C-alpha cells in the first residue's frame, strides 16, 4: 500500500467529512453567519475595551436594545413580505413626541397617551400600507416620502412645543417603573421587547397571517395564485411596522423624556442594518424573529462600543454603513451560493478497499465463471413493466411487483399474460413478502413499511419511524429508503434501510461514498415498536430469514458481502460474514427449494471503480467537477444470480452473457420450479426453469407451510 | 510566481486548464447514425489506414496489407509484425509503417528500402505516411516511448514525444519538421509545401511548414483525431476521429495519482480511457448515464468509444459529419478515403469497412 493510500485511509477514517454537508443542509445554518458576526463584535469590543461589558453598562444598553428590537422587528416583518419601511425613524420620533405631549403637557393618563402614540404609528403604517399594498407604489420611494413628511411634521411640533412637553405636570408610578424599573436587573423595555418578539415568532412560524407574510415575500405571484390576499397582507405588514416603531418611540420617551430634532434620526439605517445583518433576506420570504434579535443585538453592541471608544459621531454612522454594506453583500452571495456549496460538500466519499475480485472469466474454473444459462429465459410483460424490483408470487401463482408509478402490479397466474393494478401505494414499492395470513408486506421508498391486507386490499402503514441515533446530525428517525424485508417465525419483520443520507432517486450517489450509511431495522407487530438493530452498514439490501428461522442473511451491496445475523442460539446478536468477496454487488436474497439461497448481483465490480474506492479525494473531486451522467460507476449493465449455501459456499451461477435480457438483476424468486427475475431499471420479468428444482416449492409454503 | 499560484488555484478549483469541459457535438458535428447505418463493404478484423492513389485502394489488417478490388480483396503484402501506417504514390510505390520496426518501401524506384532510424531516433511508432513526390516521404511518429498498440499508455502517461519527418528517399536524408507533438496521427499535404498534422492528444490540427511557426488550424475537436484524407475535388479534407472525449476522461487525465496507479495495476482494456470498440466486457468501466434503462442504452449515453468522420472545408472548418453513436458498434474510425461518390471508412473497433454514400455537393 502506497504512502498516499495509507494517508487517505487514515485521513478519511479520522475526519468525518460528511458531517460538514449534513450541518450545511440544516435550515438553522442560515443563523450561523449572523451568530458569527455577533461573536466577532463581542470579542472585538471586549478586547478593545475590557470595561465595556461590565454589568453597570449592560443595563443601559439593554434599555436601548429594547427600543431597537421593536423597530427592527417591524422592519423585518415588512422585509419578510418583500417590502422595506424607511419611515420607522420618523414614526419613532412622532410617537415619542405624542407620548410626551399627551402625558407631560396635557396630563392625560399614561395608558391613553401610549395608546394614542401607538395609534399614530398605526396610522402612518396604514398610509404606507395603502400606498404600497393597494396602490402598489414602490416601497422604497413611498416610505422615503413618508419619512420626510412625518419628519417635517415632527420638526414643526418640536420647534413649537419642545419646552412644554419635557416638564411633566402629572406623575404616574407605571410610567416611572417603565422608565427606571427592572425585574431582576433586566430593564422593562427589554423584557417587553422579548415578549413581543416571542409573540412575533409564534405569529410567523405557527399562525396563518405569518405564513401569509412569508408566502407573499417568497413569491408574490404564487401567493396570489394560492388565494392569499396579497395586497391586504402587504398593507398589514406596514401597519405592524408602524405600531412597533411607535412602541419603540414610547420607550424612548420613557427613557429620556425629551423631544428633540434628532430623535430617531438614522434609525431606519440602524434597523435595516440589524435586519440584514441578522440574515433576513432583502428579497423577502426568508428570515425570522431570532435573526432580527441577533441583528439588533449586534448593531447595538457596535453602536455602543463605538460610542464608548469616544469616536466622533460621524464615525459611528460610517462604521454602521460599512457593516450594512458587508451584510448586504453576504446576504446576496450566501443566498445565491448556499445550494452550490451544499451540493459540493454533501457527497463525502470514504476510503474503502475491497478484497481481490474473483474471476468471472469463462472457463476459468471460478465459481462465478461466465455462462449463458439465462439466454433463453421466458419474458413476462415485456415492455409493460417498469421497475420490478422484487417480483414475488403467491400460492395461486399470481405475480406481484412494484412499479415506478407507485403501484403494486399483479400478473395473473399461471400464464402471466393479463395484469391489473393491485393497489396504488404512492411511493415506489421495493422489497416484498407475504406474511403468515397471506397479507402482502412491502417496503416503500420514501414512505416506510406497509401492509396490503389480503382480501380487502386495504393499505396499512406499519412503521415509518425508528429510534433516532444519539448525536446524529441528519434526522435519521424517519425512513428514507426502506429496501427489502423478511419475516421471522415469531412475526418480527426485519427490513433494511439502504441509506439514511440520500433519497431513493439518489441511491447511486451513496455508492460513490462507500460509507456505512444504511441500517437494519426491526418492526415488532406484537407491540408495534420499531428499533434499529444494526446501524452503519454499507447499503444493506436483500434480507432473508434462514430456513431454520434462527438467523437472517443480509446483503451489503457496496460492501460486496453477504452477512449473517443470529436471532437465536449461542451466537445470538452477532454478525458473521458469509461471503466476503463477491465479484459484484448483491441485492435481494431469497430461499431456494434445495435448502440454499439465491442472491441477485445487481452489478459487477470493475477494476477502475475498485481503484477509485481507494481514492476518496478522486471521487470527491469527480462529484464536484464532472456532470452526474458522466460519473464513474460500477458496471450495472450486467447482473448475475448465484446460489449459496448456509456456510457461504457458492454452488451455482446464472449469467446472461450478452447482457440483453437482464442487463440489471435486482431479485430472483423461486416458485414451483422456476426462478422469477426482476430488475429495477428493466422493463420485463424473466422466468427461468431451474433444472432439478422442487416443482412444488413456494415461498409461502417454505415460510408458513401454506398450501394452495 | 503569479502563474504558479494561478495554476495551483485552477488545479484546486478545476478551472482554467484543469477544467474538464468538453466541446459539445453541435453545428456541423450534430450527431446522426450515418456510419452505423451505412452498408458494410467488408468485415475484417481491425482494418486500418485505407489509402487510395487514384487506381489502387489498399488497407491494412493486422500484419497484412490488402488491396480492394471489384472482385474482392486480395493480400498484397504480409509482414511479421502489425502494419501501423500506409502510403501510396501513383507511380507505383508503397510505403509501409511497421509497428516497433520501421518503414519499408515496396514498388517504385526505391523498392526494398528499409528505414529504421530517423535523425538518430528509432522508428518505434509510425502512425501516418505521405508521399509528397516520388522521392519524398513524410512520416509521422506518434511517440518515442510507445509503439502504436500501446497508444492508450501514451495518452494516459500524458506524453508529447511525437514528431513529423521529411525523408529524402534518394539519399536517406531526414529532416525534422516538428517535434514534441502529442501523438501526430494523420498527415495531409498543404498546398504551400507544408503539411497539416492531426495531433491526437491535443485534439487539434496544426499546419507545419519547414520555414514557419506551426499554426493551429482547428482546435477543440470533440474527439481524438486520426488520419486525414483529401476530398475528391481536392478543396477540402476528411478527418477520421477514432474516439470521443468525455468529462470523466479529461478529469482522469488531470488526476496523475489515479492515472499512474491505473496504468500500474489494471489491464488497459479496463481503463478509464478512450477505446476503439464498444463495450465488450462486463469489467469495463461504466458511467452513470450509460445505465441501460428499460433494456435500452441511450445513444447519447456517455461513452468511451464512438465513430466519427468530419468533412472539413479548405479553411479546416467542419462542414458535415457522419457518426456511430454510443449505442452503435461501428466505432474507432481510424481512416477514410473518398472514392467515386462514396466515403469508405475503416472501423478498427467495429471490424468493418463501411461505405457511406455521399450526397451531391458534399
pLDDT tens for residues A160-191?
888 888 878 778 888 888 888 788 888 888 99
> What 8-state DSSP symbol labels residue B169?
T
Pairing of strands A529-537, A540-545: unpaired
Q: How far apart are CA A154 and CA A433, in angstroms?
A: 78
Give exposure, A233-250, as e/b (b: 16+ Cβ within 10 Å). Answer: bbbbbbbbbbbbbbbbbb
Tell me phi and psi for residue B246, to 5 degrees. -150, 155
Q: Which DSSP string corresponds to B83-133?
A: EEEEEE-TTS-EEEEETTTEEEEESSTTTT-EE-EETTEE---EEEEEEEE
Nearest-CA neighbor of B320 among B290, B357, B266, B269?
Answer: B357
CB contact under 8 A, A625 and B295: no
Of B266, B291, B297, the CB nearest to A607: B266
* B292/A632 CB distance under 8 A: no
Q: How far apart are CA A612 and CA A352, in angstroms?
A: 9
Residue A332 has pLDDT above 80, yes or no: no
The answer to whether residues A677 and A701 touch, using CB atoms and an 8 Å cutoff, is no
Distance from CA of B44 to the nearest CA of A (A): 22
Asked if A379 reaches chain B (Cβ–Cβ under 8 Å), the answer is no
Phi, psi (degrees; rounded to nearest 5) at A533: -95, -50
- In angstroms, the separation between the Cα of residue A449 and the nearest Cα of chain B is 27
User: pLDDT digit string (tens) for A85-141?
Assistant: 999 999 999 999 999 999 888 888 889 999 999 999 999 999 999 999 999 999 999
Taking CB atoms and an 8 Å limit, are B297 and A637 in contact across chains? yes
Q: Is A608 on the interface with B (CB under 8 A)?
A: yes
Other beta carbons within 10 angstroms of residue B40's beta carbon come to 13
Contact list, A506 vs chain B (CB under 8 Å): none
> Running DSSP on this structure, what letter comes out for residue A506?
G
Say which of B265, B301, B302 has its CB closest to residue A611: B265
Instruction: Choose the closest CB to A628 out of B257, B284, B288.
Output: B288
Q: Average pLDDT, whole number, for chain A?
A: 90
Distance in Å from the first CA to the final CA of chain A: 58
Which residues are CB-contacts of A218 (< 8 A; sequence separation ≥ 6)? A284, A285, A286
What does the pLDDT average to over A254-260? 84
Q: How many Cα atoms are found within 13 Å in the side-chain-facing hemisphere of B158?
A: 12
Q: In terms of Cα–Cα distance, which of B42, B355, B262, B119 is closest to A615? A: B262
CB contact under 8 A, A637 and B262: no
* Of A606, A624, A682, Cβ closest to residue B283: A606
Whether residues B270 and A631 touch (CB distance < 8 A) is answered with no
* Range scoring the smallest mean pLDDT among A43-57, A67-81, A572-586: A43-57
Confidence band (pLDDT; 50, 70, 90) for A313?
A: low
Distance, CA of B194 to CA of B187 (rounded, Å): 10
Confidence at residue B15, expressed as pLDDT on a 0 to 100 scale? 82
Task: Quote the pLDDT of residue A345.
Answer: 83
Average pLDDT, integer, range B77-87: 94
Closest chain A residue to the Cα of B266, Cα to Cα: A607
Q: How confident is the model at residue B360 (pLDDT cuts 50, 70, 90)?
A: low
Percent residues over pLDDT 70 in chain A: 99
Q: What is the mean pLDDT of residues B53-72?
A: 91
How close, in Å, is residue A31 to chain B by CA atoms? 27
> Is residue A394 a contact partner of residue A411, using CB atoms and an 8 Å limit?
no
CB A393 within 8 Å of CB A676: yes
User: What are the pLDDT digits (tens) for B143-196?
Assistant: 999 999 999 999 999 999 999 999 999 998 999 999 999 999 999 998 787 899
Residues of B in contact with A626 (CB under 8 A): 20, 247-248, 251
Q: Which DSSP category does B323 fall into?
A: E
- From chain A, pick out residues whose CB is under 8 angstroms from the CB of B245: none
Output the pLDDT for position A56: 62
The answer to whether residue A634 neighbours chain B at the CB level (below 8 Å) is: yes
Would you call A664 and B284 a contact, using CB atoms and an 8 Å cutoff?
A: no
What mean pLDDT is predicted for residues B13-26?
A: 86
- Asked whether the beta carbons of residue A608 and residue B285 sit closer than 8 angstroms, the reply is yes
Judged by phi (left if over 0) then psi (alpha if -120 to 50, else beta), residue A697 lies in beta
Can you tell me the ipTM of this complex? 0.92
Strand, helix or coil for residue A74: helix
List, as one string, the DSSP characters of B177-221: EEEEES-EEEEEE-TTS-EEEEEGGGTEEEEEETTEEEEEEE---
Q: Measured between alpha carbons, how far is A80 from A82 in angstroms, rounded to an integer?
A: 5
Mutate to test the interface with A, among B288, B290, B301 (most CBs of A within 10 A): B288
Rounded to the nearest angstrom, the minimum Cα separation between B140 and chain A is 32
List CB contacts of A383: < 8 A, sequence separation 6 or more: A683, A684, B294
pLDDT at A20: 85
| pLDDT attached to residue A233 | 96
Asked if residues A418 and A406 have their Cβ atoms less than 8 Å apart, the reply is: no
Amino acid at each position: 500500500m502506497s504512502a498516499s493510500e495509507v494517508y487517505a485511509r487514515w485521513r478519511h477514517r479520522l475526519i468525518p467529512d460528511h458531517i460538514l454537508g449534513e450541518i450545511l443542509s440544516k435550515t438553522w445554518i442560515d443563523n450561523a453567519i449572523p451568530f458569527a458576526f455577533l461573536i466577532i463584535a463581542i470579542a472585538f469590543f471586549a478586547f478593545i475595551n475590557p470595561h465595556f461589558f461590565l454589568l453597570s453598562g449592560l443595563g443601559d444598553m439593554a434599555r436601548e436594545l429594547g427600543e431597537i428590537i421593536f423597530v427592527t422587528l417591524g422592519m423585518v416583518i415588512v422585509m419578510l413580505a418583500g417590502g422595506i419601511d424607511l419611515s420607522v425613524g420618523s414614526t419613532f420620533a412622532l410617537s415619542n413626541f405624542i407620548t410626551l405631549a399627551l402625558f407631560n403637557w396635557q396630563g392625560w393618563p399614561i395608558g391613553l397617551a401610549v395608546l394614542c402614540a401607538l395609534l399614530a404609528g398605526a396610522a402612518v403604517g396604514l398610509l404606507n400600507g395603502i400606498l404600497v399594498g393597494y396602490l402598489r407604489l414602490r416601497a422604497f420611494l413611498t416610505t422615503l416620502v413618508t419619512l420626510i413628511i412625518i419628519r417635517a411634521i415632527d420638526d414643526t411640533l418640536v420647534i413649537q412645543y419642545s419646552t412644554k412637553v419635557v416638564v411633566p405636570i402629572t406623575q404616574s408610578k407605571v410610567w416611572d417603573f417603565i422608565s427606571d424599573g427592572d425585574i431582576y436587573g433586566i430593564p422593562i423595555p427589554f423584557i417587553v421587547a422579548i415578549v413581543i418578539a416571542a409573540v412575533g415568532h409564534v405569529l410567523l412560524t405557527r399562525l396563518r397571517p405569518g405564513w401569509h407574510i412569508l408566502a407573499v415575500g417568497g413569491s408574490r405571484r404564487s401567493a396570489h395564485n394560492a388565494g392569499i390576499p396579497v395586497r391586504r397582507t402587504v398593507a398589514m405588514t406596514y401597519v405592524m411596522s408602524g405600531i412597533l416603531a411607535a412602541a419603540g418611540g414610547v420607550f424612548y420617551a420613557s427613557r429620556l423624556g425629551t423631544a428633540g430634532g434628532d430623535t430617531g434620526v438614522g434609525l431606519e439605517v440602524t434597523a435595516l442594518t440589524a435586519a440584514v445583518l441578522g440574515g433576513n433576506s432583502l428579497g423577502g420570504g426568508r428570515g425570522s424573529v431570532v435573526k432580527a434579535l441577533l441583528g439588533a443585538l449586534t448593531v447595538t453592541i457596535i453602536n455602543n462600543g463605538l460610542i464608548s471608544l469616544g469616536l466622533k459621531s460621524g464615525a459611528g454612522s460610517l462604521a454602521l454603513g460599512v457593516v450594512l454594506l458587508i451584510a448586504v453583500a453576504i446576504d446576496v452571495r450566501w443566498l445565491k451560493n448556499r445550494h452550490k456549496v451544499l451540493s459540493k460538500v454533501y457527497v463525502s466519499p470514504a476510503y474503502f478497499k475491497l478484497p481481490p475480485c474473483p474471476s468471472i472469466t469463462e472457463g476459468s474454473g471460478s465459481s462465478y465463471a461466465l455462462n449463458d444459462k439465462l439466454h433463453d429465459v421466458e419474458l413476462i410483460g415485456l415492455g409493460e413493466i417498469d421497475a420490478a424490483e422484487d417480483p414475488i408470487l403467491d400460492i395461486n401463482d399470481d405475480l406481484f411487483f412494484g412499479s415506478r408509478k407507485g403501484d403494486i402490479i399483479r400478473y395473473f397466474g399461471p400464464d402471466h399474460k393479463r395484469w391489473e393494478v393491485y393497489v396504488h401505494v404512492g411511493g415506489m414499492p421495493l422489497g416484498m413478502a407475504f406474511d403468515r395470513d397471506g397479507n402482502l408486506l412491502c417496503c416503500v421508498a420514501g414512505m416506510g413499511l406497509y401492509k396490503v391486507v389480503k382480501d380487502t386490499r386495504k393499505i396499512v402503514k406499519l412503521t415509518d419511524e425508528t429510534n433516532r441515533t444519539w448525536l446524529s446530525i441528519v434526522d435519521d428517525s424517519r425512513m428514507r429508503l426502506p429496501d427489502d424485508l423478511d419475516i421471522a417465525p415469531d412475526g418480527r419483520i426485519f427490513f433494511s434501510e439502504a441509506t439514511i443520507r440520500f433519497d431513493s432517486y439518489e441511491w447511486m450517489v451513496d455508492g460513490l461514498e462507500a460509507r456505512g450509511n444504511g441500517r437494519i431495522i426491526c418492526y415488532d407487530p406484537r407491540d408495534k415498536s420499531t428499533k434499529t438493530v444494526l446501524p452503519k452498514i454499507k447499503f444493506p439490501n436483500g434480507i432473508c430469514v434462514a430456513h431454520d428461522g434462527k438467523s437472517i442473511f443480509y446483503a451489503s451491496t457496496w460492501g460486496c458481502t453477504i452477512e449473517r445475523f443470529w436471532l437465536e442460539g449461542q451466537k445470538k446478536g452477532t454478525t458473521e460474514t458469509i461471503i466476503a468477496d463477491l465479484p459484484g454487488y448483491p441485492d435481494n436474497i431469497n430461499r431456494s427449494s434445495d435448502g440454499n439461497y439465491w442472491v441477485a448481483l445487481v452489478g459487477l465490480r470493475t477494476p477502475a471503480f475498485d481503484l477509485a474506492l481507494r481514492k476518496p479525494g478522486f471521487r470527491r473531486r469527480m462529484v464536484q467537477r464532472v456532470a452526474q451522467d458522466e460519473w464513474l460507476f460500477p458496471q450495472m449493465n450486467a447482473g448475475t444470480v448465484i446460489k449459496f449455501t448456509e456456510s457461504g459456499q457458492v454452488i451455482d451461477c446464472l449469467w446472461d452473457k450478452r447482457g440483453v435480457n437482464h442487463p440489471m438483476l435486482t431479485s430472483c424468486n423461486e416458485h414451483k420450479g422456476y426462478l422469477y427475475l426482476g430488475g429495477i431499471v428493466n422493463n420485463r420479468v424473466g422466468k427461468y426453469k431451474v433444472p432439478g428444482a422442487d416443482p412444488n416449492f413456494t415461498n409461502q409454503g417454505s415460510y408458513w407451510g401454506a398450501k394452495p | 510566481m503569479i502563474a504558479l499560484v494561478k495554476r495551483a488555484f485552477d488545479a484546486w478549483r478545476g478551472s482554467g486548464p484543469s477544467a474538464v469541459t468538453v466541446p459539445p457535438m453541435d453545428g456541423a458535428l450534430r450527431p446522426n447514425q450515418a456510419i452505423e447505418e451505412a452498408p458494410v463493404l467488408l468485415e475484417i478484423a481491425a482494418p486500418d489506414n485505407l489509402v487510395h492513389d487514384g487506381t489502387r485502394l489498399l488497407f491494412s489488417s493486422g500484419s497484412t496489407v490488402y488491396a480492394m478490388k471489384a472482385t474482392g480483396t486480395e493480400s498484397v503484402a504480409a509482414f511479421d509484425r502489425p502494419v501501423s501506417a500506409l502510403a501510396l504514390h501513383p507511380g507505383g510505390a508503397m510505403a509501409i509503417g511497421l509497428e516497433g520496426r520501421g518503414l519499408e518501401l515496396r514498388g517504385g524506384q526505391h523498392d526494398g528500402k528499409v528505414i529504421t532510424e530517423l535523425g538518430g531516433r528509432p522508428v518505434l511508432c509510425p502512425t501516418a505516411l505521405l508521399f509528397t513526390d516520388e522521392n519524398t516521404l513524410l512520416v509521422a511518429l506518434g511517440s518515442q516511448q510507445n509503439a502504436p498498440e500501446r497508444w492508450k499508455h501514451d495518452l494516459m502517461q500524458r506524453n508529447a514525444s511525437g514528431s513529423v519527418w521529411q525523408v529524402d528517399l534518394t539519399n536517406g536524408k531526414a529532416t525534422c519538421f516538428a517535434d514534441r507533438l502529442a501523438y501526430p496521427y494523420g498527415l495531409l499535404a498543404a498546398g504551400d509545401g507544408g503539411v497539416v498534422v492531426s495531433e491526437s492528444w491535443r485534439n487539434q490540427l496544426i499546419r507545419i511548414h519547414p520555414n514557419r511557426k506551426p499554426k493551429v488550424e482547428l482546435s477543440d475537436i470533440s474527439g481524438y483525431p486520426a488520419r486525414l484524407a483529401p476530398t475528391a475535388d481536392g478543396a477540402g479534407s476528411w478527418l477520421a476521429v477514432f474516439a470521443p472525449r468525455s468529462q470523466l476522461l479529461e478529469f482522469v487525465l488531470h488526476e496523475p495519482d489515479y492515472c499512474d496507479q491505473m496504468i500500474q495495476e489494471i489491464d488497459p482494456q479496463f481503463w478509464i480511457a478512450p477505446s476503439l470498440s464498444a463495450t465488450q466486457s462486463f469489467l469495463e468501466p461504466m458511467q452513470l448515464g450509460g445505465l441501460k434503462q428499460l433494456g435500452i442504452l441511450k445513444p447519447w449515453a456517455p461513452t468511451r468509444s464512438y465513430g466519427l468522420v468530419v468533412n472539413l472545408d479548405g479553411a479546416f472548418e467542419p462542414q458535415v459529419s457522419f457518426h456511430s453513436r454510443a449505442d452503435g458498434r461501428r466505432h474507432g474510425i481510424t481512416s477514410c478515403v473518398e472514392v467515386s461518390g462514396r466515403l469508405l471508412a475503416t472501423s478498427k473497433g467495429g471490424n468493418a469497412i463501411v461505405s457511406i454514400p455521399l450526397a451531391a455537393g458534399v
